[in-house]
Amino acid sequence: MLDFYCTRARLDIEIDGWVHESTQRAERDGQRSAFLRSQGIATTRIPAKRVLEDLDAVITRLVVICDERIDKVMMPLHQPAAGPPPRSGEES
């Protein structure tokens, strides 16, 4: 289960408390992040302590990350051709 998910940015937002500091948990977190990455979903991890100490800065940073991801997700995978494709036998 993800802590938070921004659909438009395809971003998993994880707030990590002290339990995430253990080696076993870090390995599981890494495996899950790798799976999500294979599905086109990025993960950002934020220490819970930081959220408690400076929520405004965390929110500001998350907005920037989401905006960057949305721009990236919205970009086409290829550039459209400038004109029609060449006819059979014509050089491009």
Q: Which domain range does residue 61 map to?
A: 4-74
In a domain, 82, yes or no: no
In a domain, 32, yes or no: yes
In a domain, 80, yes or no: no
Distance CA 84, CA 39 (A): 33
Distance CA 69, CA 41 (A): 10
Structure tokens at 32: 């899950």
Tell me how crowded residue 44 is: count the other CB atoms within 10 A of its CB.
17
Distance CA 5, CA 63 (A): 13
In a domain, 87, yes or no: no
pTM over 0.85: no
Place 22 in a pLDDT band, splitting at 50, 70 and 90: low
Secondary structure of residue 8 in the 3-state scheme: coil
Distance CA 69, CA 8 (A): 8
Q: What is the pLDDT of residues 65-80, one digit of tens each?
A: 999 999 887 665 556 6
In a domain, 81, yes or no: no
